[in-house]
Amino acid sequence: MKYIYELHKTMLARNLILVYEGEFTQEITKSVLAMAERNMDSMGEESGIKRKVFNVMVECLQNIVKHSDDFSKQSEQKPTAIFMIGKQDNAYIITSGNPIKNEDVDNLRSKLDQINGLDKEGLKQLYKDIIKSTSLSEKGGAGLGFVDMARKSGNPLEYDFERLDDQYSFFSLRTKIAKE
Write the CB contacts of 8 (distance below 8 Å, at least 6 apart in sequence). none
Helix (H, G, I), strand (E, B) or coil at 124: helix
For helices 120-133 and 105-116, give the axis angle rounded to 10 degrees: 130
Closest CA to 95 of 21, 165, 154: 21
pLDDT interval class at 24 (50, 70, 90): confident
Determine the Cα–Cα distance for residues 116 and 125; give it in Å rounded to an integer.
Answer: 14
> How would you class 63 by CB atoms within 10 Å of its CB: exposed for 0-12, middle for 13-18, buried for 19 or more?
buried
Distance between CA atoms of 164 and 139, rounded to whole angstroms?
A: 24
Backbone angles phi, psi at 122, to 5 degrees: -65, -40
pLDDT band at 113 (very low <50, low <70, confident <90, very high): very high
* Cβ-contact 52, 125 below 8 angstroms: no
State the fold for domain 2-178.
Heat Shock Protein 90 (3.30.565)
52: helix, strand or coil: helix
Domain boundaries, the chain: 2-178
pLDDT tens digits along 42-86: 888 899 999 999 999 999 998 888 876 565 555 566 558 999 999
CA proximity to 114, closest of 95, 135, 129, 133:
129
- Whole-model pTM? 0.86
The half-sphere exposure of 41 on its side-chain side, counting CA atoms within 13 A, is: 6
